Structures are given as structure tokens and as C-alpha cells.
Chain A
Amino acid sequence: MTVHSKEPGTVEARALPTSALFARATPADGRVAAEGQSVREAIAFSPVKWLGVSGGLGAAALVAFMVCLGFGTEAISFPQVATLLIQGVVAEGGAQDTTQSIILWQVRVPRVLLAFMVGGSLAAVGASLQALLRNPLADPYVIGISSGAALGAAVAILFGVGLSVFGLSVLPFCAFLGALISLFIVYRIAVAYRSFSVHTLLLGGVVLNAIFSALILFLTSLADPYKASGMYAWLMGSLTGPDFQTVSVLAVYLVLGVSILVAQARSLNLLTLGEEAARSLGVEVERVKRVIFAASALLTGSVVAFSGLIGFVGLIVPHAVRLAFGADHRLLLIASGLVGGTFLMVADTLARTLLSPTEIPVGVVTALVGGPIFLYLLVQQRRRIVS
């Protein structure tokens, strides 16, 4: 099945061929003006727009970061947050040892930073997978990559396989392997159908998710109750209680992964045309695919290892960013990263404050927000195929 995807609300575009023909039959003088405009548009684009958009989104993320830091059982006012942050960074010997300062620096900053990095990475992976699979509904969670990573991590947790090798934790590595294997399976499914049908891929993802979940539940049932309850909490997606060391280790993986993806941005643009077209334009398709696979698995694996299953961020964020700023991956990946990070910071702040002192798992929040949006997009996709 081929997907002639069109933007929402453009059904009338179908009527264009005849009107275009008439327009051509009597070349209008307006054409010249229109051409001039298009030159201007072409010049007023990319690097300037890139700087403007990513700068703006970066500033918005910073503001959101500071606002989110203020929320919690102990409310801290915005100016207070700013003062404490500046003190902590600039002042000799760090901030003063007040209660607020300790809460801020040791509890909230790591957590909100973790939320930002996890959200940003998931969104960047989502955007890349969508290009690679030529499917606007791809998302590491929906198509089963995250549960593959979770299975890898679950195996590591429950069997406690030599918890660290050469000083590195084995957990992220197992999650990385799990993500890589499921990504490979999903890709084979997509390729088997040649035309990358939206529905084939989603169906494959559903089945993969079911298989991996069953295996994870099976493993959990073997574990002792204490471990098992920890597993359940982790599976629902949680950003609870990270320390600075965890966050900085994760930051290394994530910055590396996202940089690799951004470096492939132009190739991703061409891959949306299909592999044959991309090759004809000079893309070394096999190499680029391998790189994107590895980077996506690295990101998904490390995110899942640290924060469990958080779904739909990789789906809704790139979709919204594409609507707002266009499809060029050079901008899309950066913007998705910033918006995804901001989104998850806010979602996590809601998760920990709405029913305070009880915490809602953040994965539940993103699924409740993202799931309905996903269904809406799916119905729309269906309409586009029919029309």
C-alpha cells in the first residue's frame, strides 16, 4: 500500500491539476512577482532560521527548566531559583547550605535535567526513525524498540549479570543490545513490505511489544517480590531520584548519540525520499542506516536503562515541530530535542506535583497525553490514504 501523505486540511489540493493547467495556458504577469518572492524566501531561509528557532527554543527550555525547579513539596519562588542557581555555579564553594539550596541542587536539578535529556533524546530518536522508516507515526515506544531495550535491561537487573565491567555499568549495554535487536527486527518487517506501509510497521510494533512485555513479565514473576515491585515502577517510566553522577554518565551517552544523529541530518532528509532515490542522490545508504541504527539504539537503550518506558514523546514532539518549522532534519532534530526536553520536564513536574505527595509515573502522563494524539493522527493518516 502506498501512502500519499498530505498535510491535514489539504483535501482541496486535489483539485489543483486543472487550475494549474489553466494558469499555465495564460501565463500571468503575477508569475514574475511570484518568482521574485520565491528567491527572497529561498535566501531568507536556513542558517538564519536555524539560529532563530533553536535559540528561541533553547531560551524557552531554560525558562521552563527554572520554572519546573520551583515546583514541588517545598515551593521555591522563581527569583529564589535564579539566585540559588547563579550562586551554585558562580559562587566560591557553591551555594549556601540552606534547606532550599540542598533541595534544589541535590534533588530537583538532577531530576529536571534528567527529564530534559530523556525527553530530548526520545524526540530526536523519534524524528530519525520516522525518516529512516519513512513513517510519520514511528516512535521508539510504539514500534517496540523501547520494550526491546527494557527486556535487555530486565535481564541485566534480574540476573544481575556482573554488574560492572571495567567500571562501566552493564545495564545500559544490555538495554542497548535489546534496542538494537528489536530495531533490526522492526526494520526487517518494514523492508519485507517494500513500500513501508504505515500499518504493517505499527502492527509489527504491537506484536513485538506484546512479545517483549510477556518476556519481561515472565522474568519479573521469577524475581523476589521486592525486586519485582521495583521493576514495575521502573517499567511505568520514572525519573525518580537520580544523583548527579547518574545524570552526568547519561549525559555523555546522550550528547554522543544526538550529535551522531544531527551529523546525519542531510542524509536523513534524502532518506525520506526512499532508499533508491537517496542512493541516486549520492547517499551511502547502507552506511548511513547503520550509523542511525546504532545511534538510535544507543539513545533508546540508555534512556530506557535509566528511566524505563516513557512513550509517545518521540511521536508527538517531532510531529508538532514539523508542522511549526518544516521537515528539514537539520532544524527538526535540534528543535525536536529542545521541545521534547521541555515537554518531559513539564510532564514530570506535573507527575510529581499533581497528586503530591504521591507521584504519578511520568510514563503514565506521557501516554495519557500522547496516546489520544497518536490515535487522532492514525485516523487522519487513514483519511489521507483513502483520499
Chain B
Amino acid sequence: MIQHRETSNVPPLRLTDVTFGFGRKESAAQSPVLRNVSLTIAAGEVLGILGPNGSGKSTLLKILMRILVPQQGTVEWFGQPPDAFSQSDIARYVAFVPQETQQAFPFTINEMVLMGRYPHHDRTWGLGWEGSHDRAVAMQAMRDLDVAHLGTRLITNVSGGERQRAVVARALTQEPEVLLLDEPTAFLDLHHQLDIARIIRRLNRERGLTVVLVSHDLNLASQYCDRLLLLREGEIVAMGTPEDVIVAASLEPVYGCSVLVDRHPQSGRPRVTLPV
């Protein structure tokens, strides 16, 4: 069990010299996806992970969720080594929203969101029906994500945006302290992109939810993140506030194209556009 939930100054997640590669040991060591990554995620921050395709962003997120286990280096959850917890111990504190959810079976949105209660009932005998508290938590999350009115619809019959919002609602139903999002806005139109970003921001401000998000959208990340991290071929090349990271000097070598960086007229945050 995680002991330090109330101790706010313990960083929820910390990676030290993490190296990870897919496949067998030798090939994994030869071409690692992540190389010597060290990173401390502070409680209550919104951290954005940026980088081109194949730079190891999603892999980093999956290591934080213990979906993947690194060959070298250590990962700590709330200051404790990974073998201190079962997978459901972690799932009660950290929730993960994958890039895309495929579902071949006709679950309703209600059922789908209630699956987020699984880690809270992992030792339950019998069929583990969700109680009124579980349903209240799920209903609150569905209201937050504006999918409560879709509760009885089938997940296979809603639009991509509605499905993605339902998946975020499921993650919140885990009542996590840390929310990991893998390109949460990739399949959404402009309106719903903004919606998700604002909801996440609000949950962060109002409830102190720590958020780590992977994004291809530099401007969205610049706008909504407290801190950014730039990955290139599995290594961290820049880390800091949006003002530090969203600069032409660090973006151009990483993405291999020239960019224009100016300021957003309302927020003053750095803004990236492509030259003509």
C-alpha cells in the first residue's frame, strides 16, 4: 500500500536514469527507446511531454503507469520502489488515458466508466458489484466530462470525441492523484480539444490533480502546462517552463524544421507557427 498519500511534499512520480528498449535484452540495449531519463514530477503540476514521432513520449508515459518496466534505472511511486505495490495499488493513485480506445463489445458508457472502480475492489469476492459510492464517483466524473447524458448509449455507437471523454471520465473514476494522458486531443475537433484541455486544467486547479500529458500540439501544451519536457530520440533535450522550452533554438533541431515563435495575444505564452 502507498503510505504517503497525505505527505504532499513527496513527489508522486520519480524516474532515475531510466533506460528502456523493446524486445529481447540485447536488442533492447542496442537501440533503447528511452536513454538515461531522470525526471521528478511534483505534486499538483501539469507537465507536458513533447517530441517528434518515435521520440519515446508514449513509452515514458507507460513506464510511469508500470505498463512497461524499464531494463535499467529506478521508478518510484510516492517515494517507494515499484515492488512495494500491486498493479491495482498503483491504479488507485495513477490513472492512464490511452491514445485510442478500441472496443469490440457493446458495453454502455455507464459500464465503461464504472470499470474505473476496479482497483478499489480488487480483493472483493464474488462478482464485485459497484456500490452507491462507486456510482456516485462515476456519475460525478461523467458530469465533469459532459457524458452523463450518454450513460446508456453503447460505447461502440458514440463518436470518437464522446468515447474519448468517456475514457477520461473512467480515469477520473479511479480517483487518481496523478492523471497520465497520451495525446488526449489527437482525435478531437477544435471545440472538444479546448473542452478537454479546460476540464483538465480545472481539475488541476480545483482538486490539485497532478497531470502528465503527451502532446503533438505545441500550442495547446504551451497554453495549459506549467512545465514542459522535450524528448529527442529517447533523451531529454530541454525541460522547464513553456518560455524556456518553446524557443526556436530547442525546437528546430528536434523537429528538423524552422519555426516561428511569438506570444499568444491573450495569455502571453509562447506560440509556435510554421514559416511560409
Interface residues of A, Cβ cutoff 8 Å to B: 2-7, 10, 13, 16-17, 20-21, 24, 31, 34-35, 37-39, 41-43, 45-47, 50, 130-131, 134-136, 262, 265-266, 269-270, 272-274, 276-277, 279-284, 322-323, 326-328, 330
Contact = CB atoms under 8 A, between A and B. Distances in A.
A16 B110 contact: no
Given A265-B127, A281-B170, 4 more contacts: A10-B157, A262-B127, A281-B91, A327-B106
A242 B28 CA distance: 56
Contacts of B129: 46-47, 50, 330
Nearest to A47: B129
Nearest to B95: A280
B25 to A, nearest CB: 19
Contact of B98 (A42, A280, A328): A280
Contacts of B159: 13, 16-17, 20
Contacts of B121: 266
B88 interface: yes
A326 B160 contact: no
A13 B158 contact: yes
B238 interface: no
Contacts of B101: 273, 277
A266 B110 contact: no
A103 B162 CA distance: 60
Given A7-B156, A41-B110, A47-B129, A276 B67 contact: yes
B185 to A, nearest CB: 14
Given A4-B102, A270-B115, A31 B122 contact: no
Given A13-B158, A281-B118, A41 B151 contact: yes
B133 interface: no
Contacts of A262: 127
Given A35-B143, A50-B127, A276-B67, A281 B119 contact: yes
Q: Which 3 A-B pairs have the closest CB atoms?
A: A282-B88, A282-B91, A282-B119
Given A35-B149, A322-B105, A282 B92 contact: yes
Contacts of A17: 159-161, 189
B15 to A, nearest CB: 17
Contact of B152 (A7, A10, A38, A273): A38
B207 to A, nearest CB: 20
A188 B91 CA distance: 27
Given A279-B65, A279-B67, A280-B91, A135 B115 contact: no
Given A265-B127, A270-B115, A131 B105 contact: yes
Contacts of B87: 279, 282-284
Contact of B107 (A24, A136, A327): A327
17 contacts: A4-B102, A5-B105, A7-B156, A10-B156, A16-B158, A35-B149, A38-B110, A38-B150, A42-B138, A42-B139, A45-B110, A134-B102, A280-B96, A326-B106, A326-B111, A328-B111, A330-B128
Contacts of B152: 37-38, 41
Contacts of A4: 102
The A interface, classified by DSSP as helix, strand, loop or mixed, is helix
Given A24-B191, A38-B151, A3 B104 contact: yes
B157 A7 contact: yes
Which of B89, B154, B162 neighbours the largest number of chain A CB atoms within 10 Å of its CB?
B154
A42 B135 contact: yes
Interface in B90-126: 90-92, 95-96, 98, 101-108, 110-111, 115-116, 118-119, 121-122
A190 B121 CA distance: 30
B105 A46 contact: no
A269 B118 CA distance: 10
Which of B102, B107, B119, B128 neighbours the largest number of chain A CB atoms within 10 Å of its CB?
B102
A136 B101 CA distance: 17
B109 to A, nearest CB: 9
Contacts of A47: 129
B189 A327 contact: no
Given A10-B157, A284-B86, A327-B111, A266 B127 contact: yes
Nearest to B158: A16
Contacts of A281: 91, 115-116, 118-119, 170, 174
Interface string B136-155: 00110011001011111010
Nearest to A284: B87
Given A6-B157, A266-B128, A326 B92 contact: no
A41 B111 CA distance: 11
A265 B126 CA distance: 10
Contacts of B151: 38, 41-42
A327 to B, nearest CB: 4
B122 A282 contact: yes
Contacts of B103: 5, 272-273
B130 interface: yes
A50 B159 CA distance: 29
B102 A2 contact: yes
B160 to A, nearest CB: 7
B214 to A, nearest CB: 14
Contacts of B115: 269-270, 273, 281
A36 to B, nearest CB: 10
B105 A272 contact: yes
Nearest to B109: A38
A166 B96 CA distance: 50
B216 interface: no
Interface string B212-250: 000000000000000000000000000000000000000
